[in-house]
Structure 1
Amino acid sequence: MQSKPVDIRAMVLFLAVAFLAAGVLGALQPVTGIPGEVIQLTQFGPALGVGLAAVLWPGRVREVLGGSGPGSRGKGVLLLVTAALIIAMGAGAYAALTGDVRSTRPGAPFLLIAVAQLIGAGGEEIGWRCFLQPLLRTRCGPLAASVAVGLVWGVWHVQVFTQRPLYAGAFMMGAVSMSVVMGWALEGVRASRLPLAAGFHALINLGMLLFMDEESGAVLPMVLFGASCLAAAGLWTWMSVGTPRAAEAAPAKIPPIMDDVR
């Protein structure tokens, strides 16, 4: 079975390109004049990683990204609702603690921002939740795979580590927790993974843009956001571990194929 070494090489290549391309794209952002509130070009780093892997191992990448089975529509709707609840909990807690009900008017048209945020979220999630997560899922359970992807995803946002330690720690807690939420919600889902993951991601980004103040480097909103994500992850884990373990006993295998690169 030659899929295992192919998978390892594909994951290493994906991560290298995702990190390096994000750095290059981030440096190019000021040159393009595209406002960061509209879209962050770094979001396309993971998509470029998947694209290069597809050039080298087209069959394997096609198997990972494709597949059949729409998954549970109910879980998909609940995933999107969870994004709204996370923002509501974080913003509500901030208002209760400070007396400040934040609401920011974006500088660009909201419809443009919403569409761009969905596209950018798709550029990230085709790598994190549609490529890396399924590959890791063939080797470990849904929770372990989700935590691993969340840690890498959080570290990928390297700029956050220029902030204060509590801010960075809260961000990492939020990233891992959101990864756990998506991991449970997308378990067993193949065909609709990208729109669901991108939708959740975009709703989180839009909510933070409109109702949170974490971009200023303020610690409290980031801590409250991270805590809200952790609460959501705990609830999803509690709901999911009680379900029948048939899928966990036999993880969703991606059928092995022959190595495309000799």
Structure 2
Amino acid sequence: MTTRTWTARAVVYGVVAFVAAGLLGAVQPETGIPAEVVQLTQFGPALGVAAVALRWPAGTRRLLTASGTRQDSGWPLLATPFLVIALSAGPYALLTGTAHVTDPRSLQHPFVLVAVAQLAGACGEEIGWRCFLQPLLRTRFGPLTTSVAVGAVWGLWHVRVLAEAPAYAAGFLLATVAMSVVLGLALDGTGTGRQRLLLAGGFHALVNLGMLLFMDEETGRTPPMVLFGLACALAAALWVWRERTVTIPRTAS
């Protein structure tokens, strides 16, 4: 893949992912689909991948379906959201003197529906971020550098968050970069394309559901978002340590 082609794929993906997310967010109120169930903006990255696939079908297919032999990251990856939520919600409860727990039965829609829709939305994002952009950048850079870059773009893609208080936005960007490091390191050389999508989507959905049930950052309060960012950073540090101390053979990407 030439540098020109590599850059063109990244640019086309990024532009479509950003524009499509904005358009989907604008039309969601007209669809009647509740944001609590799923946010249509989450499918912007999937449309970005589709746009690239129309122009470079074979190359896109190779990135999405590349397989590896690593099998050790699945359960540790899916356990990480529970650690992140515990490290976020616990200190937040101590800080405020109350547990910010939402009874799933109090939601306006059945929790099973919300959980399934959250997984679908998360996969709509992750097919773009971790299944396309991550392996695309990985052909040029190492896993850690690639993960940080994808996390930064992923964070900036959430444009509305940047309109919040500076500390809130900083906490969110720290979280996206840190979660991207966790996902990038865990999925590097792991399984098939379908397995990577399900693992990334599962991680993403578990984090979203945990925040829904145990945090209230959606109110715009800064402390829960900052604590969430710090918890994600700690989880990322643990994954970096794990990757540097455990040597596991991997296939070439």
2:22 and 2:207 map into 1 onto residues whose CA distance is 23
Q: Any unmatched runs of 5+ in structure 2? A: none
Q: What residue is the counterpart of 1:141 in the other structure? A: 142
Matched AA of 1:22:
A
The alignment's C-alpha RMSD in Å is: 1.5
CA drift of 1:245 comes to 8.5
Q: What residue is the counterpart of 1:48 in the other structure? A: 47
Q: What residue is the counterpart of 2:221 in the other structure? A: 218
Q: State the secondary structure of the residue aligned to 2:35.
A: coil
Matched AA of 2:230:
A
Q: What residue is the counterpart of 1:29 in the other structure? A: 28
2:248 and 2:206 map into 1 onto residues whose CA distance is 31
CA drift of 1:244 comes to 3.7
Q: What residue is the counterpart of 1:61 in the other structure? A: 60
Q: What residue is the counterpart of 2:82 in the other structure? A: 84
Asked if the contact 1:138–1:252 (Cα under 8 Å) also holds between the matched residues in 2, the reply is no
Q: Any unmatched runs of 5+ in structure 1? A: 254-262
Q: What residue is the counterpart of 2:100 in the other structure? A: 102
Q: What residue is the counterpart of 1:173 in the other structure? A: 174
Matched AA of 1:198:
G
1:227 and 1:252 map into 2 onto residues whose CA distance is 32
The alignment of Structure 1 onto Structure 2 pairs a total of residues equal to: 248
1:112 and 1:24 map into 2 onto residues whose CA distance is 24
Asked if the contact 1:106–1:210 (Cα under 8 Å) also holds between the matched residues in 2, the reply is no
String of CA shifts for 1:31-68, please: whole Å, max 9, x gaps: 11111110000000000010111111110001000123
1:146 and 1:68 map into 2 onto residues whose CA distance is 18
Percent of matched pairs sharing the same residue:
56
1:75 and 1:15 map into 2 onto residues whose CA distance is 28
CA drift of 1:3 comes to 4.5
Asked if the contact 2:122–2:202 (Cα under 8 Å) also holds between the matched residues in 1, the reply is yes
- Greater CA deviation, 103-112 or 45-54? 103-112
1:235 counterpart = 2:238: yes
CA drift of 1:10 comes to 1.0
CA drift of 1:214 comes to 0.4
1:195 and 1:126 map into 2 onto residues whose CA distance is 9
Asked if the contact 1:137–1:252 (Cα under 8 Å) also holds between the matched residues in 2, the reply is no
Asked if the contact 1:54–1:62 (Cα under 8 Å) also holds between the matched residues in 2, the reply is yes
1:201 counterpart = 2:204: yes
Q: Which runs of 4+ in 1 moved over 3 A?
A: 243-247
CA drift of 1:69 comes to 3.1
